[in-house]
Amino acid sequence: MSVYALALRAYAPMSCEEPFPMATASDFRPEDCNCLSLRQATRHVTQFYDRFLMPAGLRTTQFSILSKLQRMGPTSINALAEAMVMDRTTLGRNIQPLDRECLIAVRQGRTDRRSKELHVTDKGAALLEDATKARAEAQARFEAIFGGERSSNLRALLRAVTASEFGPMAEGRPDATLEEG
């Protein structure tokens, strides 16, 4: 056996079993997929809230962006994307209609003139105030249907998921867990 083969063998796992056995397509049950269940629930709830926000002329995503920006104050697109747990490019696409409708303004940065800051305009603040009433109505209706305590528990659980170490933040660690977050 060559020196190279001996060196590789020293670093090989003691067992031939995979630490995470590969599932086959026949093992896949969509109802057991966390990602699919979250995406389906998200679409369902988003459509529900969109129906309430429609008269105000906003979609749920636009409402979320406006309200987060209003709370944060003038901020960069990178900071807003991070606060919203969104990719910068996706946020960029989502703010285009808000900018086109003059609900937000993109201005030169106050501290760094090379940077751009997002601002909620007066028109955007007025629309957000109207839309906040519609969102409150949607929230109340959701909780009447789903239950107040269950809704509160759901939000806490979803915040825990958001704070966990999935994706690029996990630094390639398939063992990242919610308890670590």
- Give the start-to-end residue ranges of the domains of the chain: 39-146
Q: Nearest 5°: CA angle at 113, between 84 and 120?
A: 40
Mean pLDDT for all residues in the chain: 83
* Residues making up the chain, counted from first to last: 181
At residue 75, the 3 state secondary structure works out as strand
On the question of pLDDT at 99 being above 80, the answer is yes
Give pTM, 2 decimals: 0.73
Single-letter residue type at 105: A
CA-CA distances (angstroms) from residue 146 to 10, 142, 149, 151? 56, 6, 9, 6
At residue 117, the 3 state secondary structure works out as strand
On the question of pLDDT at 86 being above 70, the answer is yes
pLDDT digits (tens, 9 = 90+) for 26-50: 677 878 898 899 999 999 999 999 9
Provide the pLDDT for residue 29.
Answer: 80
Single-letter residue type at 23: A
Q: Is there a contact between 61 and 94 (Cβ–Cβ < 8 Å)?
A: yes
- The more confident residue out of 169 and 108 is 108
Provide the pLDDT for residue 22.
Answer: 57
- Give the Cβ contact number of residue 50 at 10 Å: 16
Q: Is there a contact between 131 and 63 (Cβ–Cβ < 8 Å)?
A: yes
CATH of domain 39-146: 1.10.10.10
Provide the pLDDT for residue 10.
Answer: 45
